[in-house]
Amino acid sequence: MTLFFSRRTYNASKTKFTNNPAQLTRYVKITDGPDADGTGSGGIISQKDWLDRVHAEAETNEVTIFVHGFNNDQLDMLRRFDKIKNGLRAQGYRGAVVAFDWPSEGNVLAYDNDKRNAKATAQCLVEDGIIPLTTRSNATKINLIAHSMGAYLTLRALSDFGDAASPGSGVWKLNQIMFVSGDADARWFARGAWGSLLLAHRSNRFTNYFSQLDQVLNLPAVIGNGLQKRVGRSGMPQVIDKNHVDVYSHEQYLQDVILQDRTTAFSHQWWFDNDKFYKDAALTIAGEDAQQMPTRRRMNTTDLAPLS
């Protein structure tokens, strides 16, 4: 079963979602498919039914939310989501896996429009996903994997809500937050910068997977606004929060991706076809010591790197 919540407009006459922003969030379950044409069995359900199904799917008290990136229509999102879910399952993860489907146009030339849509719908990730999941069971551990522009959306989402957003008197926070090829200004992650402070306040640990060979994060449209480095390509600055971890994956990319597959697009998304990534991510979700994971080695800097 596939479970996601979407902020795309729904075309009832065609029984399909569009790539346009919607005025409300819809909760979806797919029991079969979708196939190559996007056809599957299932449909829109109530928030309560959706939360119940998420709870029923989890064999543990954990839920992992996937937030997709730029240039992803809904079918792209579902294909990547399926890889992530199966990849984590293969490594022993037994919590539920769901996705937040925000209105990317699925067009490589629509970067600016996607960024506007990401900003406009960011609060829905928290308001319609994280908080209801937390409310459903205060014991639930919520993890988040954000790819590409999903990292920018996540930061915007977390910054929109204070400590009183969730029930109870305690500070609400996620368990593990992981950015993969994160499309966000690297300066925001220096210790004391707003992004670093936000992630420290809203998660038990933040992990940044980056590769200097990511060609998408070096495109002019992406690195605009003063040609600032992206955290998914350059990594975090040298001085970072004690619970933040950089995973340098340049050499893993060279080893695991054959020459003919090293396209611009694949350099940005190869993680999701890599068993080593899922093993490391599953250990991260499980809360293993970042410095002691059997999937990593130490570098001369403060970074860690996957074992070759």
- Spans of all domains in the chain: 47-306
Q: What's the whole-number mean pLDDT along residues 47-69?
A: 96
- Quote the pLDDT of residue 55: 94
**What is the C-alpha separation between 113 and 32, in angstroms, rounded?**
31
pTM value? 0.95
Q: What's the whole-number mean pLDDT along residues 121-138?
A: 92
Helices (H), 62-178: 74-90, 111-125, 131-136, 149-159
Smallest CA-to-CA distance from 230 within 238, 241, 239, 219 is with 219
Smallest CA-to-CA distance from 147 within 86, 204, 64, 227 is with 64
CATH number of the domain located at residue range(s) 47-306 in this protein: 3.40.50
pLDDT tens-digit profile of 223-253?
Answer: 665 457 999 999 999 999 999 999 999 999 9
Contact 230, 150 (CB under 8 A): no
**Lowest mean pLDDT, pick from 18-32, 66-80, 121-135, 162-176:** 162-176
**What is the C-alpha separation between 223 and 167, in angstroms, rounded?**
39
**What is the C-alpha separation between 43 and 46, in angstroms, rounded?**
10
% of the chain exceeding 70 in pLDDT = 94
> In sequence order, which residues have a C-beta less than 8 Å from that of residue 62 and are 6 or more positions away?
93, 94, 95, 96, 140, 141, 142, 143, 175, 285
For residue 39, is pLDDT > 80?
A: no
Confidence class of residue 35 from pLDDT cuts 50, 70 and 90?
A: low
**Lowest mean pLDDT, pick from 139-153, 169-183, 220-234, 275-289:** 220-234
- Quote the pLDDT of residue 234: 95
Q: Dmax of the chain from CA atoms?
A: 58
> In sequence order, which residues have a C-beta less than 8 Å from that of residue 227 and are 6 or more positions away?
none
- Quote the pLDDT of residue 224: 64
Confidence class of residue 219 from pLDDT cuts 50, 70 and 90?
A: confident
**What is the C-alpha separation between 114 and 104, in angstroms, rounded?**
5
% of the chain exceeding 90 in pLDDT = 81
- Quote the pLDDT of residue 308: 66
Strand partners, 8: 21
- Quote the pLDDT of residue 38: 59
Q: What's the whole-number mean pLDDT along residues 5-13?
A: 95
- Quote the pLDDT of residue 10: 96
How confident is the prediction for the chain on average, in pLDDT? 93
